[in-house]
Amino acid sequence: MKNRAVIVNAVRTPVGKMRQSLAGVPAMTLAAEVIKASIQKAGIDPSKVDEVLFSNLMNNDNGSPARMAWLAADMPMEVPGATIERRCASSLTALAFAAALIESEHADIVMAGGVDSYSQQPILVKRPEQAYPSTLKILEVKRSPDNIGDVSMLQTAENLAEQYGISRAACDEFACRSHKLAAAAWAERLFDEQIVPITIPQKKGAAKTVVMDDCVRPDCTVESLSKLKPVVKADGVVTAGNSSPMNDGASAMLVMSAARAEKECLEPLGTVTAFACAGYHPHYMGYGPVVATQKLMAQTGLSLKDFDLIEINEAFAAQSLACLKVLGLDNEADMARINVNGGAISIGHPNAASGGILVARILHEMKRRNVKRGLVTFCIGGGQGMSLVVER
């Protein structure tokens, strides 16, 4: 019988809006804080960690981010690390790979997670063709090769809205729902166990401690969202208000074999039982949760009725609604178990950290409700999807 991989804790920073509360904090500092918090919560000797699997997309001025993050946390140098990249599902992939290492008996304890800081994203330029060019060309990151054609993430959401008949009104209602649910969760202090406060020294006066997400708007209304202009085309549905913002944040998950958790007297928060990834056309990348979830259901024999809670990453309202429609979840009964404490539209989307953020959110809510099984699913820039099952 294979080793069972369990998550003993899942933590995250507050999510900062680009250029706001966490703007002055380097990405590796954010990563270090969640790593330290995870180790401290578990009360384990960090030298016993076998591997660090960490993700970072936006801050490529940090060579080998997994290694950098671990060392920035003042952790033992003997512990190795590898950086995992799968765009928006990077830290979810790190978790899946951590579980696979443990199940195959290649590791006993793995630190998984991710960090991104849009505020501190470096500007890259193309190598000039001459020694002293009059201008420098900013390097834009491609998500698709030239033979397929690169389109913006915003355009991919519009493509899905058009194909599946998703209206502007439905998008704004979905976005407002996200804000209301996240605001209610904060008011009820449902995120307290997963949040790692970030203390920031100030040039003058006392240090400032960030404890809450920047982007949640308790006063959000459908009426206010409806006044925003579409960003892709005049009659489009995608706006700044019904899309996930650009953010700063980090997440960490400590994964162990069930036997090791028992030896350390640690109660698992949850278990990784299955995951699946699938590819799709990059111009419709937001459809990824559908193909990944269908693949996962075929692998496991589960159906969507078997999940008590579902977290779908809210990259765009249009994209999320299209997926929910195809999966048959766009009804009042099923929506009662989907993104019950808000999602990326309200809480934010620091890309490489988001997998861990959703896992922390669903596991703590599963614990609170005393339910058994949850699904986390992501669309991925470049045309992929990933879905992962957690159980308690």
Q: Which residues are catalytic?
A: 88, 349, 379
- Closest by alpha carbon to 264, among 46, 1, 2, 17? 46
Question: Encoding tokens for residue 290?
Answer: 């559908």
Check: CB of residue 231 under 8 Å from CB of residue 239: yes
Residues in the chain: 392
Beta bridge partners of 279: 384
**How many angstroms separate the first and last alpha carbons of the chain?**
19
- Which residue in this structure is represented by tokens 């999807």? 385
- Closest by alpha carbon to 6, among 99, 89, 97? 99
Angle subtended at Cα 22 by Cα 385 and Cα 240, rounded to the nearest 5 degrees: 50
Q: Which amino acid is at 178?
A: S
Question: Encoding tokens for residue 273?
Answer: 């039982």
Helices (H), the chain: 27-42, 65-72, 90-103, 153-164, 168-187, 222-226, 258-263, 288-300, 317-326, 332-335, 344-347, 351-369
Rounded Cα distance, 85 and 70, in Å: 17
Check: CB of residue 64 under 8 Å from CB of residue 83: yes
What stretch of H or E contains 83? strand 81-83
